[in-house]
């Protein structure tokens, strides 16, 4: 039986920090309101000439270095993003070229804020079936490009960033299980109601922005991610006490706390990085994972339950032995 082992992680955040105080001069809001409702103090914003592939490249190079492999060892690239550089080729193909890799499959996955969990699941299945032996899995976003910076209901929440992991085939797990879900009935609660095929006028006029029913999304995010914990533990015949760390999607500290409470995890076992990143969509989980590995919070041998939730709705989890 072949498994995927995580052998390296990396992340990258753009230099520009956008604080709540700066947002106060842009929309009718204030730092205390944002902190109380979201736990977000600041977020990073990509420079005008910085694109999703740039963030993905920096995160990937850090992950490849940490893994101790050469880019030439990588035989699969999966990039989760909602904010691709171009309509096509995929950001994964652009990244592949930047990394000097020629030949193996590279493609994007679009599941918004749950995208990294979908990408991880796919890469894991490639490895388990012997179709790949060393996979680069990336979540990268320039979400700031699809935010209406005059809409206080959404602009306080999101930020830009990238995170990446390298998975390698191994006899020992690694990834113990992955669980994915989608439900398109909720397509209008969190969306950008424009694209290439539909409402292209909004793209042309530069008004293709994220819209959200905040309290509805909040409710569903908590329910879906709390249920995912139960589903993941049951699939592995484990109890919550067996898990060292829970990494929920870093959307909002109130959502994270509510998921932790509902799932029965003490706050000390729940990873929270949202205060300094905001919601970086597909980058949120690999960013939180990489920061926690690098600062020594998550150690080799730890059992980590990661989960994402996003527009669609989409949601998914992975249980992984580091």
Q: Which CB, 29 or 257, lies closer to ligand COA?
A: 29
Catalytic-residue membership of 279: yes
Q: What phi and psi values does residue 313 have, to the nearest 5 degrees?
A: -70, 155
* Cα–Cα distance for residue pair 11/87, rounded to 1 Å: 24
First to last CA, the chain: 18
Q: Is 261 exposed, middle or buried (0-12, 13-18, 19+ CB in 10 A)?
A: middle
DSSP state of 29: -
Q: Which CB, 18 or 167, lies closer to ligand COA?
A: 18
Q: Which CB, 63 or 180, lies closer to ligand COA?
A: 180
Catalytic residue among 20, 249, 252, 277: 249
Q: Which CB, 205 or 215, lies closer to ligand COA?
A: 215
**In what side-by-side order are the strands of the sheet with 106-109?**
3-12, 161-170, 134-141, 76-80, 106-109
Catalytic-residue membership of 236: no
> Under the rule (CB under 6 A), what is the footprint of ligand COA?
29, 33-34, 37-38, 113, 152-153, 156-157, 212, 214-215, 217-218, 221, 251-252, 255, 279, 309-310
Smallest distance from the beta carbon of 196 to ligand COA, in angstroms?
23
* Cα–Cα distance for residue pair 139/165, rounded to 1 Å: 9
The shares of helix, strand and coil residues in the chain, as percent rounded to the nearest 5, are 40, 25, 35
CB closest to ligand COA, residue no: 214
Q: Where are the alpha helices (DSSP H) in the chain?
A: 20-24, 31-38, 52-67, 91-98, 115-128, 152-155, 200-204, 214-235, 253-263, 274-277, 284-294
* Cα–Cα distance for residue pair 4/166, rounded to 1 Å: 9
Smallest distance from the beta carbon of 121 to ligand COA, in angstroms?
18
Catalytic residue among 53, 134, 277, 279: 279
Smallest distance from the beta carbon of 276 to ligand COA, in angstroms?
16
Q: Which CB, 132 or 228, lies closer to ligand COA?
A: 228
Catalytic-residue membership of 257: no
Catalytic residue among 53, 93, 113, 134: 113
Smallest distance from the beta carbon of 58 to ligand COA, in angstroms?
24
Smallest distance from the beta carbon of 91 to ligand COA, in angstroms?
20
> Under DSSP, is residue 135 helix (H, G, I), strand (E, B) or coil?
strand
Q: Which residues are catalytic?
A: 113, 249, 279
């Amino acid at each position: 039986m072949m498994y995927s082992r995580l052998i390296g992680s990396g992340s990258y955040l753009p230099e520009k920090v956008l604080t709540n105080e700066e947002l106060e001069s842009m929309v009718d809001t204030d730092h205390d309101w944002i902190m109380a409702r979201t736990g977000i103090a600041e977020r990073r914003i990509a420079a005008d000439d910085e694109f999703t592939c740039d963030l993905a490249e920096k995160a990937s190079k850090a992950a490849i270095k940490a893994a101790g492999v050469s880019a030439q060892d990588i035989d699969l690239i999966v990039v989760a993003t909602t904010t691709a550089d171009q309509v096509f080729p995929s950001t994964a193909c652009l990244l592949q070229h930047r990394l000097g890799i020629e030949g193996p499959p590279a493609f994007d996955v679009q599941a918004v804020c749950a995208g990294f969990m979908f990408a991880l699941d796919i890469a894991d299945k490639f490895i388990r079936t012997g179709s790949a032996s060393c996979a680069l899995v990336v979540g990268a976003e320039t979400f700031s490009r699809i935010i209406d910076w005059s809409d206080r209901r959404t602009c306080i929440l999101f930020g830009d960033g990238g995170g990446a992991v390298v998975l390698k085939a191994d006899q020992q797990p690694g990834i113990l299980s992955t669980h994915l879900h989608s439900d398109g009935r909720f397509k209008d609660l969190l969306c950008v109601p424009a694209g290439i095929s539909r409402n292209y006028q909004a793209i042309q006029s530069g008004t293709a922005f994220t819209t959200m029913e905040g309290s509805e999304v909040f409710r569903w995010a908590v329910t879906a991610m709390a249920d995912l914990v139960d589903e993941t533990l049951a699939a592995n015949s484990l109890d919550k006490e067996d898990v060292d760390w829970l990494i929920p999607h870093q959307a909002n500290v109130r959502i994270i706390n509510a998921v932790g409470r509902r799932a029965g995890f003490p706050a000390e076992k729940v990873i929270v990085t949202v205060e300094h990143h905001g919601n970086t969509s597909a980058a949120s989980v690999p960013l939180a994972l990489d920061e926690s590995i690098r600062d020594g919070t998550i150690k080799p041998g730890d059992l980590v339950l990661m989960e994402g939730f996003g527009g669609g709705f989409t949601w998914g989890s992975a249980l992984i032995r580091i």
